């Protein structure tokens, strides 16, 4: 479903992604871990089509070129990004925002739009996945929400929009134990044979709840190790010590220099 080949991204003279390659099949959940500054969030933003990056390489989504599409086209095609730091939108009710987003996707796909009552019934059903109260539908998007409420709202958006590819950028950031359980439960409820997920995280705790099919370690803009869920436990125990050297050897190899 998602095929990333030798992906590079830079801002000005600063190269952030330095040759990322990754394949995620439909039905799979892949976790991307790594220290601060490794390029994990940049990878998420580049896949979603954020401005400001000079990008090279190849990204195929369902066999089509993803990098040639606008962010709106990517969203319409089924790409969803849950933000590490969700934006507040004062004055825009959550209900209106979500219905507008869903109906935009439905129009693109040739489906009839949902009216207010139809959408409210759908939203109330999906809110149960993340244990959100109906009152949140009438509040401005993320305004005054706690960290946990913002992350639940991101998963609610995912549940309503039903993307084909979901990219979750540090969805566990700032969550307490109870909120982590609820958010992870919502994500697990949305796992599907037709949906791929890329979960970006620093910590094994999230992966105790959302069991990934594959774990990748990113250091200095490259994926330096991949493995099963046991790799996350190894990182939790030993950290990222020594992986910088792996990244350096990979970089040397790419330019033909003996490590």
Give the count of domains, the chain.
Answer: 1
169: in domain: yes
The pLDDT of residue 125 is above 80: yes
Q: Cα(14)–Cα(39) distance, rounded to whole angstroms?
A: 12
For residues 241-250, average pLDDT: 56
Contact between residue 9 and residue 172 where contact means Cβ atoms under 8 Å apart: no
133: in domain: yes
Q: Cα(198)–Cα(188) distance, rounded to whole angstroms?
A: 13
CATH of the domain at 28: 3.40.50.300
DSSP output for 182-203: HHHHHHHHT--TT-EEEEE-S-
Q: Cα(17)–Cα(38) distance, rounded to whole angstroms?
A: 8
What residues are paired with 54 via a beta bridge?
A: 10
pTM of structure: 0.87
Q: Cα(77)–Cα(164) distance, rounded to whole angstroms?
A: 8
The model's confidence at residue 68, banded by pLDDT at 50, 70 and 90, is confident
For residues 218-244, average pLDDT: 85
Q: What is the pLDDT of residue 244?
A: 58
The pLDDT of residue 248 is above 60: no
110: in domain: yes
Contact between residue 235 and residue 33 where contact means Cβ atoms under 8 Å apart: yes
Q: What is the pLDDT of residue 242?
A: 64
63: in domain: yes
The model's confidence at residue 82, banded by pLDDT at 50, 70 and 90, is very high
68: in domain: yes
The domain containing residue 230 runs over which residues? Answer: 2-254
102: in domain: yes
């Amino acid at each position: 479903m998602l095929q990333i080949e030798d992906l590079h991204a830079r801002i000005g003279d600063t190269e952030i992604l330095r040759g990322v390659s990754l394949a995620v099949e439909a039905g799979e959940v892949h976790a991307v871990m790594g220290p601060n500054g490794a390029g994990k969030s940049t990878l998420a933003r580049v896949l979603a089509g954020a401005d400001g990056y000079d990008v090279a390489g190849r990204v195929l989504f369902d066999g089509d070129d993803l990098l040639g599409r606008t962010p709106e086209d990517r969203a319409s095609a089924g790409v969803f990004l849950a933000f590490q730091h969700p934006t507040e939108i004062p004055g825009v009710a959550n209900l209106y925002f979500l219905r507008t987003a869903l109906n935009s996707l439905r129009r693109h796909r040739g489906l009839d739009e949902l009216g207010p009552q139809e959408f409210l019934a759908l939203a109330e059903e999906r809110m149960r996945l993340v244990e959100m109260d109906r009152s949140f539908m009438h509040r401005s998007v993320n305004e005054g929400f706690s960290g946990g409420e913002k992350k639940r709202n991101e998963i609610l958006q995912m549940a309503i929009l039903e993307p084909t590819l979901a990219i979750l950028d540090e969805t566990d950031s700032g969550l307490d134990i109870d909120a982590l359980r609820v958010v992870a439960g919502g994500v697990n409820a949305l796992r599907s044979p037709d949906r791929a997920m890329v979960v970006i995280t620093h910590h094994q705790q999230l992966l105790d709840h959302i069991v990934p099919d594959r774990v990748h370690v990113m250091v200095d803009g490259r994926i330096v190790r991949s493995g099963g869920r046991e790799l996350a436990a190894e990182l939790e125990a030993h950290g990222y010590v020594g992986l910088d050297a792996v990244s350096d050897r990979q970089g040397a190899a790419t330019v033909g220099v003996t490590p």
